[in-house]
Each structure stands twice: as structure tokens, then as C-alpha cells.
A and B are shown apart, each in its own frame.
Chain A
């Protein structure tokens, strides 16, 4: 008992120092859609630091480039809330358009691109002036948002139109619409900007789009022994910083696929919690995290061994996840 108490004390101390930012210790932020909370996890101890109340139905979640501000899509409040990432004090709301679900921050940190599910729009918000600068009409039920590493293109996926809309960030015009399989949920660029990966939840595939031709070059399919095809529903996709591996969250199959980016081959399926949706990595690339909605937990993935090492209970229906930068 005493040793355990000692561990707790050490943990608390570590948590306190961690916020000052020693290398290798990061904070994971998880939005809990059901509970209207955000849970903070310390990557050094893999323990929950605290859980704080936020607005209604928090889903998409991201951080400013310096990690000081946390942006949360509070869908049912029709706003994006901005928190002090350290104290978790609510700073202000950003205009977001109705029902914001997912968003992406431009690589220069200046603009937030928000998918408005109910209005077939992507809203562009200037983070500094806190003003809406553009509304871009896209397909029915916009959802996934990705941005190219050079910031020149932002991509939105529309769930009922079934397209990836590639938008020029300079003109806010759509330059290409790529038809993908049913219910595209997420868009992710490879770090070199050459490929765009788009998951299709109902289609059961990930389309890899060659940005040079803006056409699908490969379609990745998934097959898990003993799991019904209908249950394999790709949602979150994250490519590792070194561009070598991609993790694909496969929804109600309770698996995350490990894909080799070069060959597009699935190397492994990791058993995580139930209804896995979104993913994030630590900046040093050592750990991955998945939000498992129906089991109310986050799975920790060791990215070197590609094993699930821990499950951390969080709030009700964890949805989005982001990790603090270096």
C-alpha cells in the first residue's frame, strides 16, 4: 500500500513537471461525446490526469501549434470552444457554423477548417481574428478534414455524396472531387504530401489518392478472420511522422489495422476496445492512442513492437483524440 501511495505521489509530481514540457512526456486529450467532458492523460505514466467539463457533444479535438490552446468541436452548441490546454479554462468560442464535427488546423496555425455536418459546408475560421473568413459548399454531410503538409490544399470528405473534395486554400475553390467508397469519414495526407488517404466506413476500404494525378491509385481492403465483413468499418486514419506506417481504426470490428505505407499491405490487426474511431501519436512516434467509444476507454499502442500495451478508462463514448506537441 505504501509503495502504491509512493507511486501516486511520484505520478503527481511527474504530472506537474510534465506540463513544463520535458521531452517524452506529453498530454493526451480525449473528447467524450456522451459525457460532455475532455479527459487528459499523461503519456509518461499512462494515467488520467483529470477530466473536465466542456460544451455539449464534444467530438473533433485539436491543439494550436504551440500546444497552448485546445480546440474542441462542441457539436450541439454549434461552436468551437477554445481552452487553455494547461489549466483547461475556457478562453473563448470561435464561430464555427452549425453542427461542427471535425476540423483541421492549417500547418501555419492560422486557419481552422471546419466540417459542418448539417449544412453541406466547410467553414474557414481565422484563429487570430476569431472571424469566419469563408464558407465553401461541399457534398452532403461533410465530415473528414485533412490538410496537405504545405498547407496548399485542404480536403473534406462528404458522407452521403461519397467524395473527397480537394480545396485550394488560396482561392477556397474546389479543384477536384474524387469519388470514393460509401461514407468517407476521414482524410489524411502522408508527410511528403504525395498521397491522400481517405477511409470509407460503409464501403469498408481506404482509398489512396495520388495527389499528382488526383486519382485513386490503390484501394486498401481489410479482412479479419472471424469478423463479419459488415463490421469492418474504417474511420480514423493516421500516418506516422516518418511516413512508414499507417494505423486505420476499424470501428465495430474492434481492431486497428497496421498498414505499411510503401506497399499498402496490411501487416497486422490490433485488438483494441469496442467501436474504435480516432487515433493519435505522440510527437516522438513511440506511442499511439485509439478512442474506443463503446467500451469507454483509450487503447495505448506501442509503435515499436506494434502491440496494445494498455487500456485506459476515460469518459462516456470517447470520440476524438489529440496529443500535445514537443
Chain B
């Protein structure tokens, strides 16, 4: 299905609609309720015209959702093509949730959606947002964009990184004005490793892609193996030789190539595949030389969300999302939902719609977010990462949720995932 680790890839969703939206987006930067295309109008459903809403009574909170489009290859499966509103729809739903609560608090939340084209200037977009008095910036963007925005924003804005899983943003490249809503690669890898150890599948045949993000994901998996006592018995690299992603000939060549590629490997319990770029990962299950289990970027996949996650009241969120968008909720949607809910929750609790008090509440000791994971989610003060359980699932169903039982921690078991305080390279 469509829910793998695609949250960090930000490919222009459907190329045909892409141009029209991109052209307008960067220039206009206007309020969602004013200019955005049809689907986006739902972002502020309860916004009556200014005339019926006395401005003195209701305080407004403006939240930007900035998506940086990136050129990326087509996914292997038609089922995995991300919708154009990936992420945006999660933010819109959270704004609706915030506004239902806002009715009782006399607060109203507006989403400003911005799409920066491939190679476009996200910092210029940020400056326009700041000029419009928008100080909460939810990003669906790669690490370098997040960093550029953080450095350009300084004290003027809080960046809520809902997309990039890069550990360097939580480590050596951390910034005081950035919070991270989605799990980092290290957290995802640790979540997977804990379950592998619970299953006693501790001999890993690691196959990684040849792109830089595949290397980072493979490094996180390697680190997780070392941390939790698994062993990478062999590592191979699957080179991306380019070419088109699907052909009329279909399965014939793949069925022959994958067995050859995986033969004569060291004895292993599982194949761990690191293929964030989605060049070959989904080709592994059922085609390997030996009858191997596949985990990582295919098979059993760790993610912040699963479209069939129903535990801890999640059915309610899934139902609201599907009703509104006619599609299932993806990890990027969930992460953007958490980002916008974070601001809503802090505005409710601090009883303020102003930037500084809301930001301070989020960064303060009392903040916590309920996000359908069975426990309160809080930010790690040392690197701005949201602590969270990670769902491991196959294409149809969640299999388990990490941390696994028995991985203890003196502060919270959630800190067994990713870089804990003593290991962190972040100096804020």
C-alpha cells in the first residue's frame, strides 16, 4: 500500500495538476479560505464571513503549511503514488479539530498552504509569511529546506518539521526554533530492531539502495542492530541504474533478477531492506533466492502511522479523515495533523492566540499531545523531537507497536527509540 516511508520524499504528486498549483502558490501565499483550490476550502469550514464573526471576540491563529516539492522517481507501485494533498489534508483536519475546540475558547485557526516548486525559494516564501504575521510554519520539506527556513526565521517563527526524518536535524544540525513531529530514521530503525529482537530474528542480511537517503536509512538500521544486539551478517548495495519504473513487459525480468541478486548470501533470519528511494524494495518479497522474510522499506515497515491503525481511539481519527478526503490517512498527513494539533493544544492550554505564549507553552514542561498512540506525547527538550510509539505494519495491517515490552528506560520507554539525551550531538 501507500503508507511506507514516503513521508520524506515530497514528490510532486500528479504532474498534470502540479504546474497550475505551483505557479500560483509561491506568488499568492494568501489565506487558504481566500485563494486555495476547491479541496483546500475545507481548511476553515466554520469560518463565517468577517461580518458575522465579531473580530474583537474571536482570536485568530494563522498556521502555514509549507510543502517543498522535490523531483523523485515514480514509486514502484501504482498504489504508492502520493496524492497531491499528502500532508495538507492532515493539517486541514487538525485545523477543523482545533476550530471545534476553538468555538469554546473563542479562538479560530486558519491554515495558509504554500507549495514551493522544485528548486523554488522556500526562504522567500517564509519572508512573505512573516510579513503576513504568520509565525507557525509546518514544513513538509527535505532537511536542507528545514535548515534554511530555521536559520532565516530566527526568533520570528517556530518551524514544525512534519516531513524530514533526518537525524542530523535532531543532532549536529539541530536548531532551537525547530520541533520534529515525525520519527527520525534512528527511531524507526530502533522500533524495527526491538521487534526483531523480540522475535529473535537477529541475523540480518542488509540490502540498501544507492542514493544518499538510502545510505542514511541503512546507517540507522546498522546502528539499531548494534544497539539491540542484532548482527548484520552481510550487506549488499542495489545500484539504481535508472530507466523507467514500469514497462509493458512487467514481472518477467524482475522475477529473474531478484533471485540472482540475493543468492549465496550468508545465513540470515531476515532481509532488512533500506530503500527509501523506492527503487527495488518492493521487488524483494517472494522473489528472493531463499524463502526470506523482508523488513525495513518493504514487508514489515516502521512508520508513524498506518491507514488501518485502530487502537487507542484511532478509528475516530481515521473515520474523520476518510469522510473528509475520500482516501486513507498517510504518515505525512498524520505528522502534519500532529503539528497543527500541537499549536491548537498549546493555544487552548495557554488560553492565547499570540505567537510567543503559544510557542513558550509548547516548549514548556506542561505540554503534551494526545495523538491516538495510547500515551501522552511530549517533546524531548534536548533536540525538539516528539517522543512517540512507532507502528510496524504490513501493507494491510499493523503488526505491532514499539517500544517493545522489556526495553526499559529511567525517564520514559519512548526514549529507547532514537538518540537519547546522553548520545545526542545537539547543542541548543
Q: Residues of A at under 8 Å CB distance from B?
A: 99, 117-118, 120, 137, 139-141, 158-163, 165, 174, 177, 179, 182-183, 202-204, 228-230, 233, 252
Determine the chain B residues whose CB is within 8 A of the CB of A233 once the complex forms.
374-375
Q: Is the CB of B413 within 8 A of A230?
A: yes
Q: Is the CB of B316 within 8 A of A161?
A: no
Interface residues of B in 396-428 (CB under 8 A from A): 412-414
Q: Is the CB of B100 within 8 A of A202?
A: no
Contacts A141-B313, A177-B104, A204-B376; is A160 near B368 (CB within 8 Å)?
no
In whole Å, how far is B104's beta carbon from the nearest beta carbon of chain A?
4
A189-B412 Cα distance, complex, nearest whole Å: 34
Q: Residues of B at under 8 Å CB distance from A?
A: 97, 100-101, 103-105, 313, 316, 319-320, 323, 341, 345, 348-349, 368-370, 374-376, 412-414
In whole Å, how far is B196's beta carbon from the nearest beta carbon of chain A?
23
Determine the chain B residues whose CB is within 8 A of the CB of A165 once the complex forms.
104
Q: Is the CB of B348 within 8 A of A160?
A: no
Contacts A117-B316, A141-B313, A179-B348; is A230 near B104 (CB within 8 Å)?
no
Q: Is the CB of B375 within 8 A of A161?
A: no
Determine the chain A residues whose CB is within 8 A of the CB of B368 once the complex forms.
182, 202-203
A140-B46 Cα distance, complex, nearest whole Å: 14
Determine the chain B residues whose CB is within 8 A of the CB of A162 once the complex forms.
101, 345, 348, 370
Q: Is the CB of B370 within 8 A of A118?
A: no
| Chain A minimum-CB-distance residue to B100 | A140
Q: Is the CB of B376 within 8 A of A182?
A: yes
Q: Is the CB of A182 within 8 A of B97?
A: no
Determine the chain A residues whose CB is within 8 A of the CB of B313 once the complex forms.
141, 159, 183
| Besides the known contacts A117-B316, A160-B101, A182-B369, 12 further A-B residue pairs in the complex with CB atoms under 8 A apart | A99-B319, A137-B103, A139-B101, A140-B101, A161-B104, A162-B370, A163-B101, A183-B313, A202-B375, A202-B376, A228-B412, A233-B375
Contacts A160-B97, A162-B348; is A230 near B376 (CB within 8 Å)?
yes
Determine the chain A residues whose CB is within 8 A of the CB of B375 once the complex forms.
202, 230, 233
Determine the chain A residues whose CB is within 8 A of the CB of B341 once the complex forms.
160
Determine the chain A residues whose CB is within 8 A of the CB of B319 once the complex forms.
99, 118
Contacts A160-B370, A202-B368; is A230 near B412 (CB within 8 Å)?
yes
Of B100, B348, B414, the contact of A120 (CB 8 Å cutoff): B100
A23-B319 Cα distance, complex, nearest whole Å: 46
Determine the chain B residues whose CB is within 8 A of the CB of A202 once the complex forms.
368, 370, 375-376
A233-B129 Cα distance, complex, nearest whole Å: 41
In whole Å, how far is A56's beta carbon from the nearest beta carbon of chain B?
13
| Chain A minimum-CB-distance residue to B319 | A118
- The 4 A-B pairs with the shortest beta carbon distances in the complex, nearest first, are A161-B101, A177-B104, A182-B370, A230-B375
In whole Å, how far is A121's beta carbon from the nearest beta carbon of chain B?
11
| Chain B minimum-CB-distance residue to A75 | B315
